[in-house]
Amino acid sequence: MILEILVIHILVLVVIYLKYQRRFQLAQKIPGPWFIPCVGNVQLASLTAETLFLKLNDYSKEYKDCFRMWLGTSLWVFIHNPKDIQELLNKRELLRVDEFYHLHPLIGDGLLLLNGNRWSLHRKALSHAFSTNILRQFFPAISRHADVLVSKLNTTDNVEITDYLLLCILDAICETSMGAHINAQMDSKSAYVEAFHNASHILFKRMSNPLLQSHYVFRLTPDYKKVKMAIATLHALTDNIISAKRKQLNGHIKEDENPEGTRKPALLDVLMQCEINGKHLTDQEIKDHVNTFLFAGIDTTKSGTSFILYNIAKYKNVQERLYEEITSLIGTDPGQEINASYIPNLPYLDAVMKESLRLHTAVPVSARQTAKEITIGNYTYPESTALWINIYGMCHDSRIFKSPYEFNPDRFLTPDWVDEHGDYAFIPFSAGLRVCIGKQYAIFTMKTIIIKILLSYQIELTYPEEQLQLLAEMVLKSKTGINLKFRKRESNK
């Protein structure tokens, strides 16, 4: 009996080997840690999300340009060489990686998950919605929601800032993308806010847990029902707003009769006018795009802003220099509206933002999948390889950034590393063909919030340094929040 089982196992392995022979041969040339053929890198199986992240970070340092990992017969390659990344990010034939499709129930065929010609057509059409001229119109709304945030920070208690930021950014993005006033900052227990929390938490958890990849396994967990309900709540809002807008456009209801009170321009208005090959987008396409903006925009912008605030609180000299720069440009009135023309004229704020995104990296990786064999740099990758763009790895590579774990915004004021390594060495919003479409929107939002907070408060860290040593905890936003204290500025008391 044992002999028969052994023979069957060997036969299965031989069949797998023959099927994937070419794959194994090509992968052999890519460096990486030891693994068991057809089983994978078992040494990583028991690691938690945080410790896995640290391990991958060690591998980025150990292997020069890239390293490979096996999950059964699935091949993953993490690339952190800026030249190869540049080539990769400009190859049209690469697809979104399979792991991203767990988001499909929430964001459907939104931009993030499209490929090929359909992606090109939609990307071109949507780029107009994110043009600087359109984004300028969103400043008053973003500034107003930042004012509400500032008023909420008026407390002597410690504040776990990431929760506050999430609600502020949720309010701003819902208003500017759909014209919806969900008032998350005033009603943080609303069904919509809870649904947003649940959906993003469970979907991220699923994407980072190999055991939950199978649909059949995931359906057996309590999270399946919870995420389904959360998605239904989120979609109901988008559906209602789109159908009200459609009625308005068709002249069935007047603007001021709109149940959501939509008056200010929103991304949705632009999407309604978009044409692809002479046809307007369907309601389903618009819904998928709007849901994608919410999903792709809120958590990322929240993390980015939290990291900037954390560094400002930690480094008093940076905070003072920033306050100086801001007030010498726009004065000290905390109630003023922040407008788009201020943003390019605050170079130190820009450097602090970039250095915070470098050190903590709101989106540590993105990914592509090969549709067929492809050569990038010195390696040929087989069909169906997941190519992970190791943004975090490049940001912490001492060959690119001197003392990479030190917070030093000045490195972005005189960026000499660009001469040697090029622009693709620092890509917090990715780059190339699929660069984050919301990049300018996110930068405007983060800077507006920071300016508004600094005009009103001096910020202090309120918890011991050691708690932050496990960088992964911050990067993965899972375990720890960022506790700060906000002291009203003397001039505003």
Residues near ligand HEM (CB under 6 A): 89, 111-112, 123, 292-293, 296-297, 300-301, 304, 362-363, 366, 428-430, 434, 436-438, 441-442
The enclosing H or E element of 226 equals: helix 222-249
How many Å is the Cα radius of gyration of the chain? 24
Q: Residue 280: name the closest of 288, 289, 271 by CA.
A: 271
The enclosing H or E element of 194 equals: helix 191-207
- Using CA atoms, how far apart are residues 435 and 424, in angstroms rounded to an integer? 11
Q: How far is the CB of 130 from ligand HEM (least distance, A)?
A: 8
Q: Residue 436: name the closest of 117, 89, 177, 163 by CA.
A: 89
Smaller CB distance to ligand HEM: residue 86 or 292?
292
Q: HEC states along 306-375?
A: HHHHHHHHHCHHHHHHHHHHHHHHHCCCCCCCCCHHHHHHCHHHHHHHHHHHHHHCCCCEEEEECCCCEE
> Residue 397 contacts by C-beta under 8 Å, 6 or more apart in sequence?
60, 61, 80, 404, 425
DSSP 463: S
Comparing every residue's Cβ against ligand HEM, the nearest one is: 438
For residue 26, the tally of other CB atoms under 10 A from its CB is 19
- Using CA atoms, how far apart are residues 456 and 486, in angstroms rounded to an integer? 9
Smaller CB distance to ligand HEM: residue 26 or 271?
271
Residue 370 · residue 388 · CB < 8 Å: no
- Using CA atoms, how far apart are residues 241 and 178, in angstroms rounded to an integer? 7
Smaller CB distance to ligand HEM: residue 198 or 366?
366
Smaller CB distance to ligand HEM: residue 26 or 427?
427
Q: How far is the CB of 327 from ligand HEM (least distance, A)?
A: 25
Q: 281-319: string of b/e by CB count within 10 Å (b at 16+)?
A: beeebbbbbbbbbbbbbbbbbbbbbbbbbbbbbbbeebb
Smaller CB distance to ligand HEM: residue 23 or 287?
287
Consult the annotation and say whether 66 binds a ligand.
no
Smaller CB distance to ligand HEM: residue 296 or 400?
296
Smaller CB distance to ligand HEM: residue 177 or 483?
177
Please state the residue numbers annotated as binding site.
436
Binding annotation for heme: 436
